[in-house]
Amino acid sequence: MATLPPIPPPEALPPPRPGRNPLALVVAVLVVAGMLYFGLLMARRPGGHARLTTATVAPDFTLESLDGKSMSLSDLRGKAVLLNFWATWCTPCKIEMPWFVELQKQYGSAGLQIVGVAMDDASKEDIAKFAKDMGVNYPILIGKEAVGDEYGGVPGLPETFFIGRDGKIVDKIMGLKGKGEIEDDIKKALDTGTRASAAIEPVQSQNKQ
């Protein structure tokens, strides 16, 4: 029968450990808190196309216009598209709108189609009144959060994407920039592909509002 080793006398036991190093404890807490923080930040990032870059095909969507019709981005393939996310409460957006009206007139015949997406809690009637007051001559669509997420979350407004005739993103502008910069990006978008392709794939939706 196996015998258990004798229990050592108390004085033979290792001395009790002094208190843990408080600095090590703090470092451990910091590491855990940091991991939690960044983990949650990453989890909150919008999925899908959170990092849209140039040459990425612009995510397609179908949204309702102010006159109740559905409009898809893919309807405009063959045209250069200026896709502008805006809201009625966004004062910088209001500054751009007259520019867009002018640019639509100026470059519409060359194949430009400006599209506004209202990321707004306001009623459709209020959005329509705002657009009418601003003299908007391009389609305004009622935005959805899911579409905003596809375009990187659209954290601030205005945010404008310039999409080439081939459906790829040429450039984007966050916030209000000068009219000249917007016009330069429109020209870049118009320069993609050929006008022939626009003729081959006729645009189904023009000024649907």
Partner 1 sequence: MTSLPNSQSPFSGKKNRRVPALWAASFAIFLTASAAAQAAGDATVTITPNSPPVAGKVPSVVVAPVALVTAPRAAQTMVNLDFRVPRGYHINSNTPKSEFLIPTALKMDLPTDIILGKIQYPEGQDLTFPFSPDEKLNVYTGDFRIVVAVHPLLSVTPGKYIMHGVLRYQACDNSACYPPKSVRVEFNVKVVKEPAQHHANPAQSPHVHG
Q: What is the contact surface with partner 1 in residues (CB under 8 A)?
A: 22-23, 26-27, 29-30, 32-34, 36-37, 39-41, 43-44, 87-95, 119, 121-122, 126, 130, 155-159, 174-177
Can you read off the two tokens belonging to residue 8?
Answer: 């050592």
Q: What is the DSSP letter of 175?
A: S
H-helix or E-strand spanning residue 187:
helix 179-190
Nearer to partner 1, 156 or 202 (CB): 156
Is the CB of 174 or the CB of 203 nearer to partner 1?
174
Q: Residue for token digits 């000024």? A: 207
d(CA 152, CA 169): 13
Least distance from partner 1 to the Cβ atom of residue 174, Å:
6
β pairing state of 169-174 and 159-163: antiparallel
Minimal distance in Å, beta carbon 90 to partner 1? 4
Chain CA centroid to CA 33, Å: 29
Query: Using CA atoms, how far apart are residues 64 and 69, in angstroms rounded to an integer?
Result: 5
Burial annotation 9-35 (CB, 10 A radius, 16+ → b, else e): eeeeeeeeeeeeeeeeeeeeeeeeeee
Using the minimum distance from each CB to partner 1, give the nearer residue, 82 or 131. Answer: 131
66 secondary structure, DSSP code: T
CB of residue 40 vs partner 1: minimum separation in angstroms? 5
Smallest distance from partner 1 to CB 205, Å: 27
Tell me which residue has tokens 């981005």.
73
Nearest distance from C-beta of residue 198 to partner 1, angstroms: 32
User: Measured between alpha carbons, how far is 140 from 119 in angstroms, rounded to an integer?
Assistant: 11
Instruction: Report, in Å, the least distance between residue 176 CB and partner 1.
Output: 5
| 33 versus 110: smaller Cβ distance to partner 1 | 33
Whichever of 101 and 174 has its CB closer to partner 1, that residue is 174
Of 107 and 130, which has the nearer Cβ to partner 1?
Answer: 130
Tokens 């095909």 belong to 57
